[in-house]
Amino acid sequence: MLRLIGAVMIIAACGLVGIIVSKSYLLRPKYLHDLSAALQLLETEINYTRTSLPEACTIIAKQIKEPVSQFFTCFAESLKNESGVNAQEAWDNSLIVLVDAGFLKQDIEIIKQLGSVLGRSDAADQLKHITALQKRIQALAKAAELERDKNVRLWNYLGFCIGALVVLLLI
Amino acid sequence: MASKILNQLAPNLRDILENRVDWDTVEELRLRVGRPLVIKDKFQEYGMNFFGKCQVADSYCVTTDDLNRSVQIMTQNSWYAIDEEIRAGYLTLAGGHRVGICGKVVMEKGEIKTLKYINGLNIRIAKQVIGAAKLVLPKLYFNNKLSSTLIISPPGCGKTTLLRDISRQLSNSGMDVVIIDERSEIAACYQGIPQLDVGLRTDVIDGCPKAMGIMMALRGMTPQVIVTDEIGHPDDGYALADVIRAGVNVISSCHGSSLEAVQARAWVQLGGSVFTQAIILSRRNGPGTIEQVLKWEQPE
């Protein structure tokens, strides 16, 4: 009886790990699409209403889902608190939110680049930079979708299979 | 309110100025890269370092990072939002303080595209002096009727302070006043809301070129008085000509040292006849000293 319970627990634990890994493949493209949408909103705020960066990011945060919204809130708040940080520092510090949410290192490296130019030039130049980043994010999202299609089902099954294998080896 | 200016400066400068400067007396703060920080009040100029007030030569030496950081804070990290102002060489802070900017100008097709390598800032502290117009106000009336007046003086003689208090007092006495505040200096609007008291019946068209603002005010706001700052562009003259037709009073200021110098300018030919008198200011007995009140005679 005890053995049976042990076996079930091992299979469940391994299965769960598999599901968690597959979930990360499932969420990344979603997050990247959210980020791309947020950048589109930022473009509009800058282009049409010349809204200041902290205000624009607060508005964007209200229209986008977590965790991207949290990233923009964090960025806007650190710009607003008058501690003397500039946009680049605030942007870099806020990236931790995206790292925690499961963005990959390559995503972060690309997003980070915008921080060095954000808010530092006229609207036309800002738009160029934002559009460029948006295009790269969309490319990443596409690649992430392909990976998702390949890996989600695989990891869903793989976890349970490994669990079963371990049980077999132990018996 | 002037102490809020501290939050608009780079952290290094805040550390030096915090609790050491009497913001009620400071008129100007000058930051130049690689040179000492200079503070000017009504009577003198002095420096400031980590030990306190000092001679200008011993003052804290301003760094490029101090300037860049200050500008980033002042622009809320949003250069694009105020690049029009920056191209004109200044920006306005919350509270109406005006910051003049110097740096390397980037030209494109004969026009200023932007400024880079910022090397100097001149922060002029805006102050509301309630009652500043006490002496001037009676001179604005002729036979108990308000007359359109041009206030003439060199920079730094208190024109804007005076205009603000004139608006406040006229407005509180029952007149509908519209301020065309091209550089957000008179009403010191921040996100559209006047930060200084400009009166109960005063509307403010903020950040709008004077000529366009005057037309907007005439069309929509039925003002009795239009108040505006630093008239000088020929377009202003055309707009003033319309004001004459509408029969609205104008109180405005203009850079210059004498009536003759002002009357030689192009806008005067176009719309100068709106004015019935001119008041010349100086700093002889402090800002806002009335030197002369002259009848306006339109030059031929």
* One-letter amino acid for residue A137 of the chain: I
- Work out the angle at residue B165's Cα, subtended by the Cα atoms of residues B234 and B228, and round it to the nearest 5 degrees: 15
Q: How far is CA B28 from CA A165, B1, B187, B218, in A?
A: 78, 15, 19, 36
Let me know whether B66 and B187 are in one domain. no
Query: H-helix or E-strand containing B1?
Result: none
Asked if A118's CB is within 8 angstroms of B77's CB, the reply is: yes
Query: Are the CB atoms for B195 and B220 separated by under 8 Å?
Result: no
Query: Are the CB atoms for B214 and B227 separated by under 8 Å?
Result: no
Place of tokens 């200008």: B56
Which of A59, A82, A94, A128 should one mutate to test binding to chain B, selecting the residue with the greatest count of B CBs within 10 A? Answer: A82
Residue B54 DSSP class: E
Residues in chain A: 171
- pLDDT (tens, 9 = 90+) of chain A, 171 residues, equals 888 898 889 889 988 988 888 888 888 889 989 989 999 999 998 888 888 888 899 999 999 888 889 999 999 988 887 777 888 888 998 888 888 888 888 888 888 888 888 888 888 888 999 999 999 989 988 988 888 888 878 888 888 888 889 888 887
Let me know whether B78 and B197 are in one domain. no
Asked if A52's CB is within 8 angstroms of B7's CB, the reply is: no
> pLDDT grade, residue B253 (50/70/90)?
very high
Question: Two tokens at A107?
Answer: 């995503």
Q: Give the span between the Cα atoms of A133 and A138, in whole angstroms.
A: 9
Asked if A84's CB is within 8 angstroms of B79's CB, the reply is: no
Domain span including residue B38: 2-124
Let me know whether B95 and B143 are in one domain. no
Question: Two tokens at A121?
Answer: 């030039």
Nearest CB to B81; choose among A50, A86, A87:
A50
Let me know whether B96 and B224 are in one domain. no
Asked if B73's CB is within 8 angstroms of A53's CB, the reply is: no
The CATH number of whichever domain residue B81 belongs to comes to 3.30.450
Quote the number of domains for chain B: 2
Does residue A118 sit at the B interface (CB-CB below 8 Å)? yes
Query: Are the CB atoms for B152 and B281 separated by under 8 Å?
Result: yes
Let me know whether B249 and B189 are in one domain. yes
| Cis peptide leading into residue B11 (ω within 30°) | no
* One-letter amino acid for residue A116 of the chain: S
Let me know whether B247 and B268 are in one domain. yes
User: Is residue B13 in some structural domain?
Assistant: yes
Q: Give the span between the Cα atoms of B59 and B99, in whole angstroms.
A: 21
Residue in A with minimal Cα distance to B70: A84
**Of B68, B91, B124, which residue constitutes the final position of a domain?**
B124
Asked if A87's CB is within 8 angstroms of B72's CB, the reply is: yes
- Helix, strand, coil proportions of chain A in percent (round to 5)? 85, 0, 15
The complex's ipTM works out to: 0.74
Q: Which residues of B touch A86 (CB under 8 A)?
A: 68-69, 72-73, 77
**Of B68, B95, B124, which residue constitutes the final position of a domain?**
B124
With 70 as the cut, is the pLDDT of residue B1 above it?
A: no
Does residue A77 sit at the B interface (CB-CB below 8 Å)? no
Nearest CB to B72; choose among A83, A86, A122:
A86
Q: Give the span between the Cα atoms of A103 and A140, in whole angstroms.
A: 11
Asked if B81's CB is within 8 angstroms of A83's CB, the reply is: no
**Of B61, B96, B124, which residue constitutes the final position of a domain?**
B124
